[in-house]
Amino acid sequence: MTSLAEILLALFLLTNLILAGTGRLPQAIRLVAAQGWLVGLLPLVLWSWPTAGTPPLRVWLVALVNALVKGVLLPSLLAYAVRKVQAKRELEPLVSFRLSQIIVFALCVASFVFGKCLHIAEAIASELAIPVAFATMGTGLFLICSRRKAITQVLGFLVFENGITVFGSGILMEYGLVVELGILLDVFVLVFVLGIAIFQINRTFSSLDTDRLNQLGDVHLLHPHHHRHA
């Protein structure tokens, strides 16, 4: 089954790369949904079937909820938001799509090198899991840093979150059911709240560009005669 795991993880990398290169929001959401399914499947795939037998109900349940929340619920929520606010694409990202792809690729390579250097031999389900987790987290953070649209930033956050989950699965982390569900609940609520915020932002600014969201700061102090205050 290990080879299947590696295929899944490779797919993960692929989604990362495509995500970095795409400007169309619906496509990006679909990619994140795909990642959600992959994340959901991963614990099952990484389960050492020959030695441990059939996984307990807890694993199945977590996989199912994960896949449903990250692969269906959240993407449809975001897609709804995209439709509602009529945002189609990420125009003018801070880093161009081509360069983004190259950077994400570089991140992947760096993660592999780094993962190789770490020598994590014990308690690892797959050699690939740790580097892929790092690469995915990096991609998520990179997306947040390099994109302007609020929705893309949420997507970036989800990718980051997926990376962490992959890592958890990779090192066969066992929290217990409550925690797993709690984490999922958190992610769900977070995206839900962010979604609401997106609506409000869109309504208030008539735009989803977060450029409008950098009014609070201390730099205006450089011009003592110019005060902007509530």
- Residues at the contact surface with another protein, assessed by CB under 8 A: 94, 122-123, 137, 141, 144-146, 150, 153, 157, 160-161, 164, 167-168, 171, 173, 175-176, 178-179, 182-183, 185-186, 189-190, 193-194, 197, 200-201, 204-205, 210, 212-222, 224, 227, 229-230
Least distance to another protein, CB of residue 67, Å:
19
Least distance to another protein, CB of residue 132, Å:
14
Give one word for 123, left, alpha or beta, with left for phi > 0 and alpha for psi -120 to 50. Answer: left
Shorter beta-carbon distance to another protein: residue 86 or 223: 223
**C-beta separation of 50 from 114 below 8 A:** no
- CB environment 6-31: b (16+ within 10 A), e (fewer): eebbebbbebbbbbbbbbebbebbbb
Least distance to another protein, CB of residue 172, Å:
9
**C-beta separation of 103 from 75 below 8 A:** no
Q: How far apart are CA 197 and CA 202, in angstroms?
A: 8
Shorter beta-carbon distance to another protein: residue 4 or 74: 74
Least distance to another protein, CB of residue 61, Å:
17
Shorter beta-carbon distance to another protein: residue 5 or 150: 150
Q: How far apart are CA 68 and CA 213, in angstroms?
A: 32
Write out the two tokens for 130.
Answer: 């740790």
Shorter beta-carbon distance to another protein: residue 44 or 180: 180
Shorter beta-carbon distance to another protein: residue 7 or 200: 200
Shorter beta-carbon distance to another protein: residue 4 or 192: 192
Least distance to another protein, CB of residue 228, Å:
9
- 6 CB-near residues (< 8 Å, 6+ apart): 126, 128
Burial label, 167 (beta-carbon count in 10 A; 0-12, 13-18, 19+) = middle
Least distance to another protein, CB of residue 130, Å:
11
